[in-house]
Amino acid sequence: MTSNPLSWLLQPDTVLLFSITIVTISWFTWMIIKSRNGATSPLPPGPRGLPLIGNLPFIEPDLHHYFTKLTGIYGPIFKLRMGKKIFVVLGSPSMAKEVLKDHDTTFANHYVMSAALLATYGGSDIVWSPYGARWRMLRRVCIQELLNSGSLDASSGFRRQQVHNMLRDIYAKIGTPVDVGEKITQTIFNSMTNTLWGCSLKGEADNNIGAEFRQVVAQIGSLIGQPNISDLFPVLARFDIMGVDRKMKGAVSWFDRIFETILDQRLGKNKDTEEGNEHSNHKDRKDFLDILLKIKEQADPKTPLTMTEIKALLLDLVLGGVDTSSTTLEWAMAEMLNKPETIREAQEELDAVVGKDNVIEDKHFSQLHYLDAVAKETLRLHPPNPFLIPHSPSEACVVGGYNIPEGSSVFVNLYAIQRDPSMWENPLEFKPERFLTPGNKWDYRGNDFNYFPFGSGRRICPGISLAERSLIYVLGSLLHSFDWKLPEGTKFSLSDQFLGVIKIKNPVMAIPTPRLSNPELYALH
């Protein structure tokens, strides 16, 4: 009888040897894959949390202070476990460079929260849209069509009108305390709405636009910025335990009603309204909505621009362009009121460049070097987005020798980096002249990771040019047109709070006195 030729495979020693070989090959294969994915590196250090919920119960509301404190304890990179999610916080220029430059493509996506999706029509905007062809199309539209120097020059008349309205309103309150932040917010908001769709708002957002807008935007920012059980435990998302989804839907509906009304007017559904008539009076000046609707008509069929994306872009520009700029301007006025010699320095420059018999215009901006330094120093001390927009790696990646798992949320602690005493002399002092030193290299382009208030890399803020113009124009107009002093006996505080952006805790109340030589300059339209 012929023996089975495969019988040797059934021998115990052969089976054992074969099993060991398979296990060894599998182990080496697994290790190679892990090594390529960075999984052999340890996770960053961080505070110990509780089972299941991690560090969630210990989070402090003012995240910029809390994260900076933990940076001092655990170093320039640390982690927090928040339910099922891992949050990684970077607190040094070298760590920021690794994420935003060295591994820019890997970290090109933002960490998207349910509140952010609701706020932006399902992530149809440029901020929360995933990295890819559609995001590139939206960014191209913003930079090449809306925020280029030609479009900004063409829309300067809209902004000029609102700044002149602000000066006229403040002039009517001479000698009485003015809520500077509210005036700034109203001006920036109306400037932005004029730039976007050619008219300011009526009715719903009329005289109370400053207070109402600040309330709605603060709510949206707070909802996006706060930890949400729905994000940390996705299985519970449908229950909306914290009510974030419900609150966000209510806040965004405030804007959506405005957008729908404006779009109806522009598309000819409601031509006889006051707003429609106002737009027709300015039809010689093309606003951003004109440009977007034209792009929609001529768009590439492969990546069309939809009406939903137009509304999402408008919301991006309103929230990003108004809230951050108005917050920064209020901080600038607060810091300068706290250090009056900076006001005198700025006014001397304004008098020399503009003169007291004139008002500031776009042509003056490039000559206002001290005012530019004030804006830069304000953004250093008080970056409105202290962690930028959180990034999320598309695959596991090693940063600073530590493994950053795929899908984790990565915060760049800009607040701590721009106050680092190893880089900045007297970092807590408001000192604009630090940006006037010979060979000064600081700008907003994100090339130096000691100072990048608008971010860096692929996801750098696309609205830098508009922000620069708004900051110089509004701040320069306030300081050139009026002297400012605090009400008698006022105790001034620079305390801040985190509400999605870093805001000053108490309103800036100041008394204006006219400076211009001709009172008629305050009545310009």
Q: Where are the domains of the chain?
A: 56-523
- Given a contact cutoff of 8 angstroms between Cβ atoms, the answer to whether 151 and 159 are in contact is no
**What is this structure's pTM?**
0.87
Left (φ > 0), alpha (ψ -120 to 50) or beta: where does 399 sit? beta
Check residue 211 and give its pLDDT: 64
User: Along the 525 residues of the chain, how does pLDDT read in single tens digits?
Assistant: 444 443 433 455 544 454 455 544 544 454 444 444 445 899 999 999 999 999 999 999 999 999 999 999 999 999 999 988 999 999 999 999 999 999 999 999 999 999 999 999 999 999 999 999 999 999 999 998 889 998 899 889 889 999 999 999 999 999 999 999 999 988 998 888 888 887 655 444 445 555 677 678 778 877 887 788 999 898 999 999 999 999 999 999 988 888 888 888 888 754 444 444 444 444 455 789 988 999 998 877 888 899 999 999 988 888 888 889 999 999 999 999 999 999 999 999 999 999 999 999 999 999 999 999 999 999 999 998 999 999 999 999 999 999 999 999 999 999 999 999 999 999 999 999 999 988 778 999 999 999 999 999 999 999 999 999 999 999 999 999 999 999 988 878 899 998 888 999 999 999 999 999 999 999 876
Among 162, 154, 168, 223, which residue's Cα sits nearest to residue 189? 162
CATH code of the region 56-523: 1.10.630.10
Helix (H) or strand (E) holding 493: none
Beta bridge partners of 510: 178
Check residue 279 and give its pLDDT: 45
Q: How many other CB atoms sit within 10 Å of the CB of residue 62?
A: 16
Check residue 268 and give its pLDDT: 79
Q: How far is residue 393 from each of residues 98, 325, 407, 457, measured CA to CA in Å?
A: 12, 29, 6, 14
Q: Which amino acid is at 438?
A: P
The residues near 476 (Cβ < 8 Å, ≥ 6 apart) are: 346, 350, 354, 360, 364, 365, 368, 371
Check residue 322 and give its pLDDT: 87
Q: How would you class 168 by CB atoms within 10 Å of its CB: exposed for 0-12, middle for 13-18, buried for 19 or more?
A: middle
Check residue 11 and give its pLDDT: 54
Check residue 17 and give its pLDDT: 52
- Given a contact cutoff of 8 angstroms between Cβ atoms, the answer to whether 384 and 502 are in contact is yes
Both tokens assigned to 404: 């950053």
Both tokens assigned to 473: 């124009």
